[in-house]
Amino acid sequence: MTEAVRLTDVSKSFGAVRAVDGINLTIAAGETVALLGPNGAGKSTTINMMLGLTRPGRGTVEVFGTSPDRAVQGGNVGAMLQDAGFVPNATVRDLVELARALYPAPLPTPQILRTAGLTELADRRLDKLSGGEAQRARFAFALAGDPRLLVLDEPTAAMDVVTRQSFWAAMRRYSAAGHTVLFATHYLEEADDYADRVVVVAQGRIVADGTGADIRSLTGGRTVTFDLAGEGTAGLDRLPGVRAVEVRGDRANLRSDDSDATVAALVHSGRSFRNLEVSAAGLQEAFLALTAESGPAGTTTSFAAAGGTTTTGA
Ligand SMILES: Nc1ncnc2c1ncn2[C@@H]1O[C@H](COP(=O)(O)OP(=O)(O)OP(=O)(O)O)[C@@H](O)[C@H]1O
């Protein structure tokens, strides 16, 4: 197995803030991995260390078996960072040509434009692009050198739903060619839909590592929701199977390990309720549960089927 990235016991602090706290992570060549976590989890800091933009305070970072600086200089890594600026007055094609000139073995311009979904926009000035189109132009810049590893830090921030879909279609075209892609996101659905593997980060640590389905299964259950119909919430947390109760307005939301037993007991309780629904717990619920209950230092949930190996240090 060729390794694209290996982080060994990596930590990074900014003053008193421990941005990254003992991360071990291996990404195999060809994987598409999502780094999923809330604001301030340490995703950008981790990415910046992989790109050689930030040095780890402790531990080692290797990219294709060498230092991040060497991997980047060798044209093996392309990056799309948050809020990268543009040259004024240049067109999309100018940007692509500029990027190609930086790399030893760039892709042909038409292929870059096609992969990023920019063929029709090649002669458009960069300052006339919509937010989503501008992100695709940044993507084109990142992939111009045909990097073996593409790193995308929250690539779809500020994109609407349609733009997001066309962006991910472009990313898929790139990863389908056997490239390694690592992207950071807050969007749980994106991680689930577009990554082979989801690495959940909270407070600088990896708290889970697996497929989107693995992460969802961690909640072990379903969500039972219903209108309280004017009744209180007393006793709901004692219904069989219930692990958590949340109330929004008049609607109760029960997270249950055994929704059949929960619903049967609810019916038998004699209390009023309306509009009962039972649904599979989504990644959103799994994510909240994982980050809220990230447990003692060093606890990581990992799955046998996950591509790499992951543990967190103490
Ligand atoms: N250069 C810096 N100086 C001081 N603190 C920093 C610096 N960079 C990051 N931090 C802090 O480190 C922590 C992790 O930040 P980081 O940007 O890595 O998180 P993130 O998961 O990428 O968040 P977001 O999703 O908001 O981009 C935060 O508490 C942040 O404030």
Per-residue model confidence (pLDDT) at position 68: 96
* Architecture of the domain whose range is 221-280: 2-Layer Sandwich (3.30)
Atom from ligand 1 closest to the CA of residue 20? 14
Q: According to the per-residue pLDDT averaged within each range, which of 33-47, 70-84, 216-230 is highest?
A: 33-47
Domain 3-216+288-312 CATH class label = alpha beta
CB 71 within 8 A of CB 64: yes
Pocket probe for ligand 1: among 17, 152, 201, the residue whose CB has the most ligand atoms within 8 Å is: 17
Whether 306 has a pLDDT exceeding 70, the answer reads: no
Is the CB of 41 inside a 6 Å radius of any atom of ligand 1? yes
CB 188 within 8 A of CB 158: no
The 3-class secondary structure across the chain, one letter per residue, is: CCEEEEEEEEEEEECCEEEEEEEEEEEECCCEEEEECCCCCCHHHHHHHHCCCCCCCEEEEEECCECHHHHHHCCCEEEECCCCCCCCCCEHHHHHHHHHHCCCCCCCHHHHHHHCCCHHHCCCEHHHCCHHHHHHHHHHHHHCCCCCEEEEECCCCCCCHHHHHHHHHHHHHHHHCCCEEEEEECCHHHHHHHCCEEEEEECCEEEEEECHHHHHHCCCCEEEEEECCCCCCCCHHHCCCEEEEEEECCEEEEEECCHHHHHHHHHHCCCCCEEEEEEECCHHHHHHHHHHCCCCCCCCEECCCCCCCEEECC
The rounded Å distance from CA 39 to ligand 1 centre is 8
Is the CB of 19 inside a 6 Å radius of any atom of ligand 1? yes
142-160 pLDDT, tens digit per residue, is 999 999 999 999 888 767 7
- Whole-complex ipTM: 0.96
The rounded Å distance from CA 48 to ligand 1 centre is 11
User: 234 CB contacts (<8 Å, ≥6 apart)?
Assistant: none
Instruction: Please determine whether the domains at 3-216+288-312 and 221-280 fall in the same fold group of CATH.
Output: no
- Domain residues of the chain, as ranges? 3-216+288-312, 221-280
Confidence of residue 93 (pLDDT cuts 50, 70, 90): very high
Per-residue model confidence (pLDDT) at position 313: 36
Pocket probe for ligand 1: among 11, 23, 39, 200, the residue whose CB has the most ligand atoms within 8 Å is: 39
Per-residue model confidence (pLDDT) at position 308: 38
Is the CB of 42 inside a 6 Å radius of any atom of ligand 1? yes
Q: Beta strands 242-248 and 222-227: pairing type?
A: unpaired
User: Which of these, 19, 58, 23, 16, lies nearest to 40 by C-alpha position?
Assistant: 19
Whose structure tokens read 């969802």?
A: 216
169-183 pLDDT, tens digit per residue, is 888 888 888 899 999
**CA–CA separation, 222 and 293 (whole Å):** 18
The rounded Å distance from CA 230 to ligand 1 centre is 44
| 172 alpha carbon, distance to own chain's centre | 15
Atom from ligand 1 closest to the CA of residue 37? 21
Give the number of C-alpha atoms closer than 13 A to the C-alpha of residue 53, restricted to the C-beta side: 12
Q: What integer is the mean pLDDT of 279-299?
A: 62
Q: What integer is the mean pLDDT of 66-94?
A: 85
Per-residue model confidence (pLDDT) at position 40: 87
Is the CB of 16 inside a 6 Å radius of any atom of ligand 1? no
Amino acid at the residue 294:
S
Pocket probe for ligand 1: among 12, 18, 45, 81, the residue whose CB has the most ligand atoms within 8 Å is: 45
Whether 298 has a pLDDT exceeding 50, the answer reads: no
Per-residue model confidence (pLDDT) at position 133: 86
